[in-house]
Structure 1
């Protein structure tokens, strides 16, 4: 496990963490029972199998 050799200042820690950005999920078109919707790629199979319902 990596162990820091020196204490990192609070300002340095916050400036490093502030560079992190969240991204919007990639959407794919899924057609279920004649209804088409844009859903996240990781949930596409769940919609096709009927585990999740497409909302209006």
Structure 2
């Protein structure tokens, strides 16, 4: 197992950890239903229509 020869400083450790952030999800407004949803994901509109990219993909009977 590899062991470091010298201890890393706090500033060096913190520089490395700056990229470990939680990103907020990409939301987009649908042109058809005007609802916000996750980008590149299909979503249910009123629990009976499956919408994606401004088109209805599937309708429940």
TM-score under structure 2 length normalisation? 0.37
Structure holding more strand per residue? 2
Structure holding more helix per residue? 1
TM-score under structure 1 length normalisation? 0.38
